[in-house]
Amino acid sequence: MELIDTHCHLTFKQLIGVLDAVIERSIAAGVTGWITVGTDSQQNRKVIEITEKCENMYAAVGIHPHDAKTVTAETIRQLKELAQNEKVVAVGEMGLDFHYNLSERPVQRRVFAAQLKIAAEMNLPVIIHSREAFDETMDILEDFGSDVKKVVFHCFSYSPRQAKVALDRGYYISFTGVVTFKNADLARQSAKIVPTDRLMIETDCPYMSPEPMRKQKINEPALMIHTSERLARLKEMDLTDFAKAVTATSRTFFSLP
């Protein structure tokens, strides 16, 4: 069995110091590929640096909406430069977070649009962070139309109705260990309607360890097997068949070899 963790933060302090052991456990669990995701200028440089040490590890570079308030014209210039690295397979995570509002909403919107412009110019997929801002996120994406070729909503937390809207636009949807949580019926209902050729899985580690490992506060790619098992049951699929399908989807979306 082969799985790809399509959204992890391996450069965060909880994991970077023990990265070799994290990767070893991941491979032993069948998670043999990783997209490690940047969230600010410093992290973007780090994710590229660590991908150069691991054959099956790739990077996404972007500015998280929480950090939009720190963005300058130079930040955007540097982001575009980093996105040209051969190990970069997407721009993001980017988007809107109206739950915490750590950056003012107009600033979030401006920085989101600036990153979509980079993705469109470079023909790269985009990884979307959207929390309590579904309609606003969709409106900004619509402004770019077909210029942005591929879109994935990471850590999807919206309703099946909203999932259908995203699917109807041709977007992809990714689920985390949240689908294993007892109180996550909405996420599971959404997962049920997403076909495997539009579905991806991720850890978003070091956050959100899945059940039955939720007490392990630091999540890591090896634990994604529990998320995969839960989603396979939801889809009424054999785990091996499910893993094969979503891995193929991930490779297609990110244009992986």
Query: 61-98 pLDDT, tens per residue?
Result: 999 999 999 999 999 999 999 999 999 999 999 999 99
CA–CA dist 122, 148 (Å, integer)? 9
Residues in contact with 2: Cβ distance below 8 Å, sequence separation at least 6, in sequence order: 30, 32, 33, 243, 244, 247
Residue-wise DSSP of the chain? --EEEEEE-TTSHHHHTTHHHHHHHHHHTTEEEEEEE--SHHHHHHHHHHHTT-TTEEEEE---GGGGGG--HHHHHHHHHHTTSTTEEEEEEEEEETTT-SS-HHHHHHHHHHHHHHHHHHT--EEEEEES-HHHHHHHHHHHGGGS--EEESS--S-HHHHHHHHHTT-EEEE-GGGGSTT-HHHHHHHHHS-GGGEEE---TTS-PPTTSTTSSS--GGGHHHHHHHHHHHTT--HHHHHHHHHHHHHHHHT--
Tell whether the model's pLDDT for residue 53 goes beyond 90: no
Encode pLDDT of 189-248 as tens digits: 999 999 999 999 999 999 999 999 999 999 999 999 999 999 999 999 999 999 999 999
Interval 30-48 mean pLDDT: 98
Architecture in CATH of 3-254: Alpha-Beta Barrel (3.20)
For residues 4 and 10, give the distance between their C-alpha atoms in angstroms, rounded to a whole number.
14
Task: Give the pairing of strands 31-37 and 199-201.
Answer: unpaired
Stated pTM of the model: 0.97
CA–CA dist 44, 180 (Å, integer): 30
Report residue 128's pLDDT band, with 50, 70 and 90 as the boundaries: very high
Structure tokens belonging to residue 189? 């209902």
| Single-letter residue type at 124 | L
Q: Provide the percentage of residues in the chain whose pLDDT is more than 90.
A: 98
Structure tokens at 251: 């490779």
Domain boundary assignment for the chain: 3-254
**Residue-wise DSSP of 129-176:** EEES-HHHHHHHHHHHGGGS--EEESS--S-HHHHHHHHHTT-EEEE-
